[in-house]
Amino acid sequence: MRAARRILGDRGSAVVEFPLIAVLILLIAMATIQVALVIHTRNTLVDAAVQGAHHASLIGNTPEDGAERAAVLVDQRFGGAYDVATTASEDPSGRITVTVTAAIPLVGLLGPGGTLVVDGHALDEEAT
């Protein structure tokens, strides 16, 4: 009878439950931080691409000026350690597109790999 009570009792179960639950909470927290970092980075890159496209659309500027402006903005916001590539093009209708390509930042060793590619568009003031 005493042996059955010992086996069925919950004494000492907190010692086992805490590590199991702590691992799950830690994984959820790290995933949340990873998603927030990727979204923040994407939004910042989109803003830089749009600002670069608007800069390139001004009278007297070229699409290359817009790509350079987007690269400077990304460098100011993330520092020189974050490697990005910026390109710009203009189609015959006067639409300027600035494209920013960067690696997805990782919080831990696990997470999404790959690159973020974002575009910013503006109409050339000289074409209108």
**Average pLDDT in the chain:** 86
Q: Is residue 6 part of a domain?
A: yes
Q: Is residue 101 part of a domain?
A: yes
Task: Compute the distance between CA of residue 40 and CA of residue 17 in angstroms, rounded to an integer.
Answer: 35
Q: Which amino acid is at 69?
A: R
88-111 average pLDDT score: 85
Q: Is residue 31 part of a domain?
A: yes
Domain with 77 in it: 2-123
In the chain, the number of structural domains is 1
User: Closest Cα partner for 87 from 61, 57, 65, 67?
Assistant: 67
Q: Is residue 55 part of a domain?
A: yes
Q: What band does 127 get if pLDDT is binned at 50, 70 and 90?
A: confident
Terminal-residue alpha carbon distance, the chain: 92
Can you give the pLDDT at residue 104? 83
pLDDT over 80 (residue 100): yes
5-31 average pLDDT score: 79
Q: Is residue 33 part of a domain?
A: yes
Q: Is residue 128 part of a domain?
A: no
Can you give the pLDDT at residue 81? 76
Q: Is residue 8 part of a domain?
A: yes
Q: What band does 90 get if pLDDT is binned at 50, 70 and 90?
A: very high
